[in-house]
Structure 1
């Protein structure tokens, strides 16, 4: 019922799309559409169309080519298929092996501006992987202007490149770039073409979240809050970290999440000082701190929220001091924020200064900002560490985390507190405010559980 309500909210205001109808073509092409209210992964078809239109407005010349993920990349049986985030952002299409072409100036006699290429239906393969949408149904299903089989990609591409030799696509980087699927895709059209990276443009568009995206993020936060609640109720000395991981994943799926946005981090005792610890195999001991860094992914949008719990139900004096300092650093960053002016780097310095000015010290006398060894936060959206320029001021519509931490390996004390925030015209809105973070509130939350 809750999911249905959210989807009804998302589709309010969707408008019809008028598209060109070609003549004499065997391709599937959109007629003038009436309002359908159809959504893909919680986003209205009209919003996907508007995103594609915006990309074409921002491309001064050339065409855009994006390749979707293939089933072979996930080895079919090893994990659930998840479409590439850039491709999902512009299409909502989860069919493996899809290709999107955007042609701002149009091509062919009909001036077609967008084409979705899909693999032809394969009934024998679908016995293994399930029914897929083929090119013959794609226009109605996905709201694109034209749909063709992927077997026609090269011949159609040659027509698209008659007016331009500039292609915008995802250009991979790093030492393994030339072995990537993206590189293999670029090699299909590289000859005689100038290739430009489309990622900076798409990253800037993705940085600002729409009302529909915010609704999905809020639901991801709600589900993650439920998982934190279950952890707080169940946590006790003698449990294994993986028992809490199982509880987290079960809660995610029970409440409608597709998957975790990233592998759950359940770090107890010495593992609480390891930033991205993922083994989750240790038995939790009395007096441990347990860092629980988790995020549910709801319709491709993920949460990312961290709490640090005392395994025995109450913080020791030293743990409470460190915890209070981390929480104070987070609140100092919140208070310093100014919409449209503040950058993530400036917030980082606020948090570090707060720690540096504290009278608390490590065992060897160092100020505790020396043990804050990661960034203060990041963008969140289709990816847990979402795309965007961190040097730019944070403007309304951006969603970020603020996650200070202090890690003292020689004391086996690691504390991280992470919340999600929406930037508005008037300041920050804490999306994860329903999860307690003050130390006394955390202790009361844990005491309500069935602790033995």
Structure 2
């Protein structure tokens, strides 16, 4: 309906949010309640983005909301702020000003109230679950949020409590008879395995990430700047409907490739440089992860082929072995045995390169991190066998500290019942194929996510 347009997301039906909340009810039990605090209002000219955990359970994009899941009745209440406070004249309306019946129909919650009613709703609770981890906002992962909290806490002129800690303190002060427990581990487990609709968003994010990287590669030439490569990719993201970037661009060249999470992107490219590029969009609260390295001049040097070619071969060895019901440690061990034979048969040009390759056999982070609502998504998958619905990165990495060289290539894969789906696998990986990509027309174009690369 016209009056509903733009008020609520369309990627998930209310039934999916209800199913997620049902799993929370099962986890907290029939004597507890769970309460989540939504993200605060923005303080500038940017579009509001909800915290991931809050969005995951209801899809509501209104600042200063609260969501109460009452395990005693298995009913969910959404507490909305006064629309006069969060809606400005001349801006788009939000669910805060919508009729409660419409809000309940769109979101699937059982009741809607103003935030002033939350105090009464919590009055009789004896066991309250709430996330103890910081909320993840725009282009943010939990670890980056925690780092920001630590920096603020160490500042003698700041030292303010993080928002989530302040909320926990208020719950304990206002309801001294209630026990407050951490809901984050419950939500982390739920977010680890993706639903079919989540996988569709991850496919779209991966598609745009790959198309953006290919556009950046085509725009590479001596004299260009790193930020121009990032701009070429971001142009693809935005013209295909992304909400922005899932994380800041890594567009490192020359000596900057040694910095794994380099972000300044202000160096001018030089012939002979190697580029490390890693960038992905935000598509409906889901992102991706991809990494490739390529030569500025269009042709890999003998040294670049030696090192990057070895990492690409390691990458393929890992991909061949990923399957459900096996441990990540076993996949690492299997790939290491294959690559040990490759090292033994390879005449490396320098002893330090052979030593770097040997160290790769011992590194346990080549199957890197989960990907989902953030690029470094929540949860620890490695202690358990891989399961269908898990989405992680394959990111073999090689370090040559003597020459400040950091070499890697990365894809985002989804574990399936049969093996894997390489979500970013359409982007050239082999060195010859990537050199052919670099020779393609470099004029600015607008590749669409529905087109073949």
Asked if these proteins are the same fold (TM beyond 0.5), I'd say yes
Task: Quote how far apart the aligned CAs of 1:447 are.
Answer: 1.0
Please tell me whether residue 386 in structure 1 is matched to residue 377 in structure 2: yes
For 1:23-422, what aligned pairs fall within 5 Å after superposition? 40-60=9-29, 61-71=31-41, 74-77=42-45, 79-106=46-73, 113-122=75-84, 125-127=87-89, 130-134=92-96, 136-137=99-100, 138-159=103-124, 161=125, 165-172=126-133, 176=150, 179-190=161-172, 191-343=176-328, 345-350=329-334, 358=343, 359=346, 360=348, 361=350, 363=352, 366-370=355-359, 375-376=365-366, 377-389=368-380, 390-408=382-400, 410-411=402-403, 413-422=405-414
User: Which 5+ residue runs of structure 2 have no aligned equivalent?
Assistant: 1-6, 135-145, 154-159, 444-453
After superposition, the Cα gap between the structure-2 partners of 1:333 and 1:88, relative to the gap in structure 1 and judged at 3 Å, is same
Q: Comparing 382-391 with 172-181, which one deviates more in the overlay?
A: 172-181
Q: Give the Cα–Cα distance (whole angstroms) in 2 for the partners of residues 198 and 444 of structure 1.
A: 50
Residue deviations 1:277-297 (CA, integer Å, cap 9, x gap): 001011111011101001111
Task: Quote how far apart the aligned CAs of 1:409 are.
Answer: 5.1
Task: Quote how far apart the aligned CAs of 1:350 are.
Answer: 4.8
Task: Quote how far apart the aligned CAs of 1:433 are.
Answer: 1.7
Residue deviations 1:6-30 (CA, integer Å, cap 9, x gap): xxxxxxxxxxxxxxxxxxxxxxxxx
State how many pairs are aligned.
401
8 Å Cα contact 1:126-1:132 kept in structure 2 = no
8 Å Cα contact 1:396-1:422 kept in structure 2 = yes
8 Å Cα contact 2:127-2:179 kept in structure 1 = yes
Q: Comparing 39-48 with 260-269, which one deviates more in the overlay?
A: 39-48
Q: Give the Cα–Cα distance (whole angstroms) in 2 for the partners of residues 445 and 124 of structure 1.
A: 48
After superposition, the Cα gap between the structure-2 partners of 1:131 and 1:49, relative to the gap in structure 1 and judged at 3 Å, is same
Which is richer in strand? 1
Q: Give the Cα–Cα distance (whole angstroms) in 1 for the partners of residues 93 and 279 of structure 2.
A: 32
User: Which 5+ residue runs of structure 1 have no aligned equivalent?
Assistant: 1-37, 107-111
Task: Quote how far apart the aligned CAs of 1:39 are.
Answer: 6.8
After superposition, the Cα gap between the structure-2 partners of 1:124 and 1:172, relative to the gap in structure 1 and judged at 3 Å, is closer
8 Å Cα contact 1:273-1:414 kept in structure 2 = yes
Task: Quote how far apart the aligned CAs of 1:123 are.
Answer: 6.7
What TM-score results when the alignment is normalised by the length of structure 1?
Answer: 0.83
After superposition, the Cα gap between the structure-2 partners of 1:436 and 1:124, relative to the gap in structure 1 and judged at 3 Å, is closer
Q: Give the Cα–Cα distance (whole angstroms) in 2 for the partners of residues 403 and 205 of structure 1.
A: 24
Q: Comparing 202-211 with 137-146, which one deviates more in the overlay?
A: 137-146
For 1:420-431, what aligned pairs fall within 5 Å after superposition? 420-431=412-423
Structure 1 stretches (4+) deviating beyond 6 angstroms?
371-374
Instruction: Kindly report the root-mean-square deviation, in angstroms, between the aligned alpha carbons of the 2 structures.
Output: 2.4
After superposition, the Cα gap between the structure-2 partners of 1:253 and 1:238, relative to the gap in structure 1 and judged at 3 Å, is same
Q: Give the Cα–Cα distance (whole angstroms) in 2 for the partners of residues 188 and 385 of structure 1.
A: 30
What TM-score results when the alignment is normalised by the length of structure 2?
Answer: 0.82
Q: Give the Cα–Cα distance (whole angstroms) in 1 for the partners of residues 133 and 85 of structure 2.
A: 33
